[in-house]
Amino acid sequence: MEIFHISAECYPVAKVGGLADVVGALPKYQNNAGHRVRVVMPCYDTKFRKENEFECVHWGHVKLGNFNFPFNILKEQTDKLEFELYLVEIPELFDRKEVYGYEDDIERFLSFQIAALDWIIGRNEIPDVINCHDHHTGLIPFMMLYCDKYQKLQNTPSMITIHNGLYQGQFGFDKLYYLPEFDLAHVKVLEWDNCINSLAVAIKCAWAVTTVSPNYLNEINYSANGLESLFNLVRYKSKGILNGIDVEVWDPATDAMLEKNYSLKNFEKGKQENKEKLCNLFNLDPSKPLFSFIGRLLEEKGGDLLPHASALALSENFQELNILILGSGNAVIETQLNSLLSDYKGNYNTFIGYNEELAHLIYAGSDFLLMPSRVEPCGLNQMYSLRYGTIPIVRRTGGLKDTVIDFGDDGNGICHDQASVGDICYSIQRAVDLYDDKKSLNKIREIGMKTDHSWGRVCQEYIDIYNLIISKK
Ligand code: GLC
């Protein structure tokens, strides 16, 4: 089967969050299962772009109203990611360091989608299926169905995978003329709540809708930032498929970013060596339990609760635990977290920024991983931490609920229900007690390390849906 994934992120080319990890891994597993898989994404000014060889396989112009943007399609030469990678180069719009956050993001991602489709229809073969990811690619299913110049794709199934329904890519009808020509009888399809809503458009037009966990699919029927009723309407073509992880990249036995590799056989010793390295780097106490947070410092991830929860946990258990935070995001949260540094020196530290290598060391060297998310469509960090023998402490929401079960119910982690400082601190207290009971602690770590969260296990579920929509042609 010939599959196209179209996405704004893909690890290791450009990463902001978990979307990149999924689009960097799922295609590889599909490719290795015998399918021909291509990933198409914008060409940002990243290290990967500079350090790798590309060949220009197509060029053209995107017309956005009165604007005209030349573009190139660049193919990575070696297929070293184990799938074919294509970058859509639109220098004026994407030759920048960041993936998102610019005033012209609407123009950027619309041009990207148009350039990608222009190239796809110009090729000899039509793909069997086009899998779009999140709102940045949400207009593609509409354009395939209704835009005159993409008529050739009218009968090609498209699927939207929703990694985060909070972000929907809305814009005003004043920009309607940016879209390639289509019969205005279909203009209503673009509308949700008086705007053009890219995610809503994809949900309406795609032949199938998937979310990144089954529980998240249930949740968005009653909480989806205004799209609840739409999700209810399309249940017949929706499915929640739990994400997997790339168990080649995420393997404590071979991970080159660790101080010491380890497996189920020697994890106690292996984890301790990584912990010592980490504690050395961050001036923490390796004899005390180490709680870490890795991720974007946003309300959605419960980041705003971390400063207060950390201060409370540290003052109640002074010197009985360590907390380490790696992440960036909201500037107020970053400042609040840094303001605790002087009070809890020796037991608390932060690294404000993104550092993939450090993240690996933290998964290996920590005892517990904090994930107090308000919204977590799937969450990958809890799966990485389970694989590295680190016990996740999660709020029961989205995919966290699908993957983490409280140790009180013979599970693999520690769970709480509220996104509140009180609930986080209560869980931390339970973890501190558990840490003293090494036999139970190790048993729970083992359960986590033994769980198979590999894409190998779930990759077929995607293929099954593709087959289902192909059969409806
Ligand atoms: C988004 C979601 C996260 C999910 C990831 C990959 O970042 O917030 O929960 O794991 O996408 O699907």
Confidence of residue 319 (pLDDT cuts 50, 70, 90): confident
Ligand 1 centroid to Cα of residue 245, in Å, is 12
Evaluate whether residue 280 is within a structural domain.
yes
Evaluate whether residue 348 is within a structural domain.
yes
Are both 301 and 397 inside the same structural domain? yes
Are both 153 and 77 inside the same structural domain? yes
Are both 39 and 104 inside the same structural domain? yes
Are both 197 and 287 inside the same structural domain? no
Are both 318 and 429 inside the same structural domain? yes
For 198-209, what is the mean pLDDT?
Answer: 98
Residue 108 has pLDDT above 90, yes or no: yes
Are both 34 and 121 inside the same structural domain? yes
Are both 129 and 172 inside the same structural domain? yes
Are both 208 and 349 inside the same structural domain? no
Evaluate whether residue 118 is within a structural domain.
yes
Are both 465 and 444 inside the same structural domain? no
- Residue 396 maps to which CATH number? 3.40.50.2000
- Report the atom number in ligand 1 closest to the C-alpha of 17: 7
Evaluate whether residue 255 is within a structural domain.
no
Are both 291 and 439 inside the same structural domain? yes
Are both 368 and 410 inside the same structural domain? yes
Evaluate whether residue 37 is within a structural domain.
yes
Are both 234 and 273 inside the same structural domain? no
Ligand 1 pocket, Cβ-based, cut-off 6 angstroms: 17-19, 22, 163-164, 212, 243, 376-380, 399
Mean confidence (pLDDT) of the chain: 97
Confidence of residue 204 (pLDDT cuts 50, 70, 90): very high
Evaluate whether residue 85 is within a structural domain.
yes
For 99-128, what is the mean pLDDT?
Answer: 97
Residue 15 marked as a ligand binder: yes
Residue pLDDT, tens place only, 411-469:
999 999 999 999 999 999 999 999 999 999 999 999 999 999 999 989 999 999 999 99
Mutate to test the pocket of ligand 1, among 15, 22, 164 (most ligand atoms within 8 A of CB): 164
Evaluate whether residue 418 is within a structural domain.
yes
Residue 81 has pLDDT above 90, yes or no: yes
Evaluate whether residue 262 is within a structural domain.
no
The domain of 314 spans 267-452
Residue pLDDT, tens place only, 280-312:
999 999 999 999 999 999 999 999 999 999 999
- Report the atom number in ligand 1 closest to the C-alpha of 216: 9
Confirm if 445 and 391 have CB atoms less than 8 A apart.
yes
Q: How many domains does the chain have?
A: 2
For 151-171, what is the mean pLDDT?
Answer: 98
Ligand 1 centroid to Cα of residue 163, in Å, is 5
Q: What is the pLDDT of residue 58?
A: 98
Ligand 1 centroid to Cα of residue 215, in Å, is 13
Residue pLDDT, tens place only, 344-369:
999 999 999 999 999 999 999 999 99
- Report the atom number in ligand 1 closest to the C-alpha of 379: 10
Q: Whose CA is nearest to atom 10 of ligand 1?
A: 379
Predicted TM-score of the model (pTM): 0.96
CA dihedral sign of residues 61, 202, 383, 242: negative
